Amino acid sequence: MVLVEGVKMKAKRIPKNQLVKAWKTLSSKPLPKVKALKLSDEDFNHVIQHRHCVEDDLRETEEWGKILSTKGTDACVFNADETEDADYIILVRENPYHSLNEIFLHELSHIARGDL
């Protein structure tokens, strides 16, 4: 069980080696402290609806040209709280629409570019 947005949820930790592989294609810098967790689709949808903020709208408009529906969202990345043992958290839905490698490349690219 993990605490996400103040709610206890079951989560499966995704092995760091999957993150390292994707990161190496994006940057020659060391991988920051990133924790990736897989949540049930229901819990993921709950988090994504409650995490929505103005910064996300701006980033989506810049990246996609519009504000996206959260319906097809596979994952999200955000700065971790001070209480976490990571600088960034990536949350992934249990049944994503894209491969984990594609998801990690996309989410880690936000970190590599300094979007957060």
Number of domains composing the chain:
1
pLDDT surpassing 90 at residue 69 = no
Tell me the residue range of the domain where 77 lies: 2-113
**The model scores a pTM over 0.85:** no
pLDDT of the residue at 95: 94
45-54 contacts at long range (C-beta below 8 A, 24 or more positions apart) = 45/70, 45/93, 46/5, 46/7, 47/4, 47/5, 47/9, 47/76, 47/91, 48/73, 48/76, 48/91, 50/5, 51/5, 51/76, 51/78
Whether residue 109 has pLDDT greater than 90: yes
Residues 80-97 have pLDDT tens digits of 877 678 999 999 999 998
